[in-house]
Structure 1
Amino acid sequence: MAIPILPTDVILVIFKYISVGDLMKLRQTCKDFLAITKLRSVWDELLQTEVLQRNIPIPRLAGRDLAALDSSQLEACLIDALRLRRNWIAPSPVPLQSFTFKTVHEPQSQVVFVAFLPAKGHRYLISLVVTTSDGQRTYNLQCWDMQNFSTCIARRSFTVFRGFRVNTDPSHPGVLALRSSSGVEILAIDFLGTDPSSAFVRLQVLDDVPESLLVFSASTLLTKFDDTRLHIRTIENASFSVELRNPSDASQKECIDAIVRDKYAVIARTATLEFYSLTSFRAGTGARIIEPISIHTWQWRLDSVSLAYQPSWDAALHGLEPSLNIFARYASLFPWPVNALHHYVLPCAESYDARDAMTANNTPYRAEPVLIRTFASPIRLFARWDMTLGQYGTAIWIDSHTEDYFDHAVEGQRLAGTLFTTVEPGAEVVALNDQGVSATASMVYQVREDDGWIKIAMDEEEGRIAVGTSAAEITVFEYI
């Protein structure tokens, strides 16, 4: 006698209250449940609630539109996303694959920059290698195909090199902005070319921009003069620039990171965090100097800082700006800040009205960042270290905290990380003090017994970490 089954619409409601693992077991009990669990609506709902609304990245999506995927493809996306997340945030994440390749074969070479290109499909890695020979330096800018890690698809060498920036907007044809002896070059990459030496394609040259690069976002450039004075311009109208200046700071402290959007810019200097409205700049009118509409002064001088948005399903759903993560290390040796990393959040201003002009009383963010946690992260004298923030809330850093692995060795590095969570509206400001270390790394990805790591990069969506070394090598760890 067959057991009567509930109506399909009732079963679908029940499915919302069971785990993915239980659902996979349930489908093995009978043909009816197997058929229902193959419905596209089941996996579309699970993907929304278990992955997207929890701000979990989906690996191997390769730029495909979720709306165009069938039931089995959505199921695979869900399984991949949850499998990567479990490994990624484990106390000791296990790379399922790793590979190391040599960037150049000349002696006295080291990797001084590494970054994954922002993308929605095929993945690429940018590296900069410096070679010193007879007192002269040679710079090699390279692009590596992550589907074929041994293949360098683009390479360019310089003897005079003044910096570059990767475009944060993957939809723009300009991939890099390069400051060379001929000016600022806007470069595309011929990803399908056969000759790496000609694969960096020059789209435009801005020969009247003598400044160093800080941010390249879509067609907007933020540049530095003498490391302190900031100018913003577009590549379509490079001759029109506006200075971003803090009138309360006569010496204009160095800017070390920034985020530029269509309507505003957030500038992190060694002494201050400044918020600028770009309304007049975008309109091409008004004064040639823009002053910040809010300023926060750091408690100590910053040594390094990384800015990145905190992913938020709710903010995206309601068309709001997400909160801004600030990951910082202070330069002070007393009483303790140099051996700690600090996670701040610049929360959204609940009173902000996007329909009105952006002013000091109407900004998307509160003026004062909220200190969330302080992480113990000791650095030995002269030891190398680095840190990076991902687009899904992961912070990863290199430090010297290796006592748990190598006792009191004079060398050694740790590749550690943590996952930042969304901060609730109305969070209170926490004061820093000499007992402020409140957290340790949630994840330790790797350790090594020397100080060979120099730079790190992260591709959260695909579960990859790349580490550049003092031996001109790059190691890529893959966690799915």
Structure 2
Amino acid sequence: MNVSLLPIDILFQLCAALDVNDILSLRQTCKSLCTVTRERCVWHQALISRFVRSGLPTPGLHETDLTSLPSAALEHLVVCAHRLHSNWTSPRPQATRRADIHPTHRAWPAIGARNLAAEFLAGHGGRYLLTLTLFDSSTESNNRRFSFECWDLAAPERPVLLAEFLVASILGYAVNTEPGYPHVLAVLRREDDRVMTTTYTLDFSRPGENPWFRRMNQFNSYRNTLGIHGKYYFATNPGQAVYMIDVETGRLRAEMQVPLVHNDPTIRLPEHQCINFEIFEDFVLTFRKQWICLYHIPAQDPASDPPKLLPIAEYKWRWRIDTIAVSPRRTSRPPGAPPTLDLLIRFDTWYPWPVNILHHFALSPNPSYTRATYAPADRATFPYLAAAPPADSSGPGQAGDRGQRVVCQVLARGAVAVPAGDELRGLTELGEDAGDDLVSPGHPAGDVERMFGASGGQQGAGVLMAQEEHERWSRVAMCEAEGLVAVGHVDGSVTVLWYAPPAPSVGEAVGGEVGEA
């Protein structure tokens, strides 16, 4: 039977079931099928079903109106996303482009420069990179200078410096993780006998003008910065409470406490130290050294004092945590539904160094969650219930055996098979059974195959991991959506690596070379 003679709607259904490479190969069979594979609906369906709904990174999709894109532009997006996904998931991902950034030379005498941070600014498609460099002229803190610099990575030849901000001393900093908010950068400093946080903005909306760091607000703060998300700044102090501050007004929004030990406020356990947080609507998850705590933030009453809150749900790990990365899963979900949170954890030890074994856990949302008014007695109004023991993860993996620095991030891999029963109430570590010891290294042989092979489920997330072969790395940043990685070095320089291919030209997208993607 001649496939090209089938009705056009049948051919469209056939293309919807094919992989990207198969569609491009089908194009090369005959002119009629070549015409079919150039139809806009073919590539729109491939983009939505294979990448957007699965939460897979799609370079160039940032703030793009899909309804206005022609067929060739949609094909460019799909082919680029497909090539990036193939590169991400290969045994050794290869960078397609590299650029080196060097800090601006300073007039004052300096022994050396060291990169302290590299952060992609949210909401700009990986275009702008913020770096923090320490210039140290002696061992005395008053002879140190810090430089924040914003770089444009979309410049045609090499990254271009757009703005810089110099400061004599800082205690901490945070870059806003929520796009669209003017308070881009928060800097924590000590002024006289007070700890103050100052927020800055970068305005990219004026054509032909370079942005600059413009001060937005300054307010009293706390010793340790946790981060800034949208309009809220989070900090903690030795008392182990987490403070939520409105950056627009500088007012304390809420104080999230931990239960007292023996009803004694002077007892402070290291296990309660907060190291990360995540926000969902009017709920906040704090990730502490040995606890996950869920808080509900009540409606604000300007006439009353900020509330002091205790957890409404909590979970205690068996071991203390050294490092944790929290990534909300980007797979499609019903409107208003909380996302699954991927947790990449390195546990602490009794030794002077953490164990270089990475554990991937998935904190699933409450399956019975409804967006009703929060009620303490109604568990259906809790977005997460961290009450069950961990179960099921991609298993611990040895990342290094000599204490090397390791960079890794949980990456989207598509839809995940959801386990049934009480396992949804808490954490999931893929590859383990509910009764297994989920913290000790190793897992029973065959568990990964049972979860992802025989069961037919798809892996919900992958991990991109790079291990240095020298001692120059200091900081790493990642923009998964655009396939970008920035590596800061101890000499102050920053290396930017592109893992997504350059967008193919129109002629390439419809030619034989694309069929070989």
Alpha-carbon contact 2:349-2:355 (below 8 Å) kept: yes
Contact 2:126–2:479 (8 Å) recurs in 1: no
Kindly state the Cα deviation for residue 447 of structure 1 after the two structures are TM-superposed.
Answer: 5.4
C-alpha deviation, 1:16, in angstroms = 2.3
**Match of residue 367 from structure 1:** 386
Question: Matches of 1:306 and 1:16 in 2, distance apart?
Answer: 35
Alignment correspondent of 1:159:
168
2:335 matches 1:331: no
Change in Cα spacing, 1:9 to 1:168, as seen in structure 2 (3 Å) is same
Q: Displacement of 1:272 after TM fit?
A: 1.1
SS of the residue corresponding to residue 171 of structure 2 reads coil
Separation in 2, partners of 1:80, 1:113: 29
* Deviation at residue 423 of structure 1 after TM alignment: 5.7
Q: Who is 1:84 aligned against?
A: 84
Match of 1:413 in 2: none
Tell me which amino acid in the other structure corresponds to 1:452: R
Query: 3-state DSSP class of the match of 2:85?
Result: helix
Task: Name the CA distance, whole Å, in 1 between partners of 2:354 and 2:418.
Answer: 26
For 2:49 and 2:487, locate their aligned partners in 1 and report how far apart those are by CA, in whole Å: 33
1:424 is matched with which residue?
418
Q: CA deviation at 1:107?
A: 3.7
Whether 1:128 aligns to 2:140 is no
CA distance in 1, matches of 2:119, 2:285: 21
Q: What whole-Å deviation, never above 9, does each CA across 1:318-355 have from its counterpart, x for those lacking one?
A: 54111111111111147997231111111111122221
C-alpha displacement at 1:60, in angstroms?
2.2
Give the aligned partner of residue 64 of structure 2.
64
Find the residue that maps to 1:454 and give its secondary structure: strand
Return the offset for 1:285. Answer: 6.2
CA contact (8 A) 1:222 1:231 kept: yes
> How many angstroms apart in 2 are the aligned matches of 1:87 and 1:173?
34
Alpha carbons of structure 1 residues 433 and 328: separation in structure 2 relative to 1, 3 Å: closer
1:137 to 137, 144, 153: 144
Aligned partner of 1:243 among 255, 258, 271: 255
Q: In the TM superposition, what is the alpha-carbon distance from 1:444 to its structure 2 partner? A: 7.4
SS where residue 100 of structure 1 aligns?
strand
Q: Kindly indicate whether the alpha-carbon contact (under 8 Å) linking 1:117 and 1:124 is maintained by their aligned counterparts in 2.
A: yes
What is the distance in 1 between the residues matched to 2:319 and 2:249?
38
1:119 and 1:158, CA in 2 relative to 1: closer, same or farther beyond 3 A? same
What corresponds to 1:404 in structure 2?
A: none
Deviation by residue 1:153-180 (Cα, 9 ceiling, x = unmatched): 1211121212211111111122112223
Q: Deviations over 1:419-457 (max 9, x none)?
A: 697362434644235443679998777555421111111
Change in 2 beyond 3 A, CA 1:452/1:3 = closer
1:385-424 correspondence to structure 2 within 5 Å: 385-389=405-409, 392-393=411-412, 422=416, 424=418
Given that 1:244 and 1:289 are in contact with CA atoms closer than 8 Å, whether structure 2 keeps it comes out as yes
SS in 1 for 2:22: helix
| 1:342 equivalent in alignment to 2:349 | no
Matches within 5 A, 1:41-440: 41-105=41-105, 106-121=110-125, 123-135=127-139, 136-148=143-155, 149-181=158-190, 183-191=196-204, 199-206=212-219, 208-226=220-238, 228-249=240-261, 250-251=267-268, 253-281=272-300, 288-313=307-332, 315=333, 317-333=334-350, 338-359=355-376, 361-362=379-380, 363-368=382-387, 369-370=390-391, 372=393, 373-378=395-400, 380=402, 385-389=405-409, 392-393=411-412, 422=416, 424-426=418-420, 427=423, 429=434, 430-432=436-438, 434-436=440-442
Which amino acid counterpart does residue 348 of structure 1 have in structure 2? P
Paired with 1:443 and 1:353, the residues of 2 have a C-alpha distance of 31
Matched residues in 2 for 1:100 and 1:227: separation?
42
Secondary structure at 2:129's aligned position in 1? strand
Identity %: 25
Equivalent residue letter for 1:151: V
Structure 1 pair 235/339, CA: closer, same or farther in 2 (3 Å)? Answer: closer
Distance in 2 (CA, whole Å) between partners of 1:301 and 1:17 is: 46
CA distance in structure 2 between the aligned counterparts of 1:420 and 1:375, rounded to whole angstroms: 21
Structure-2 separation of matches of 1:186 and 1:458: 23
Structure with larger RCO (C-alpha < 8 A, sep 6+): 2
Taking the aligned partners of 1:388 and 1:9, their CA distance within structure 2 comes to 43
Instruction: Number of aligned residue pairs: give it.
Output: 447
1:29 Cα deviation after fit: 3.5
Query: CA separation in 2, counterparts of 1:4 and 1:420?
Result: 32
1: distance between equivalents of 2:127 and 2:4? 50
Aligned residues of 2:408 and 2:465 also touching (Cα < 8 A): no
Q: Answer yes or no: is the 8 Å Cα contact 1:347–1:423 preserved in 2.
A: no
What TM-score, normalized to structure 1? 0.83
Indicate how the Cα distance of structure 1 residues 338 and 458 shifts in structure 2: closer, same or farther if over 3 A, else same.
same
Q: Secondary structure at the match of 1:187?
A: strand
SS in 2 for 1:222: strand
CA distance in structure 1 between the aligned counterparts of 2:290 and 2:325, rounded to whole angstroms = 14
8 Å Cα contact 1:153-1:194 kept in structure 2: no
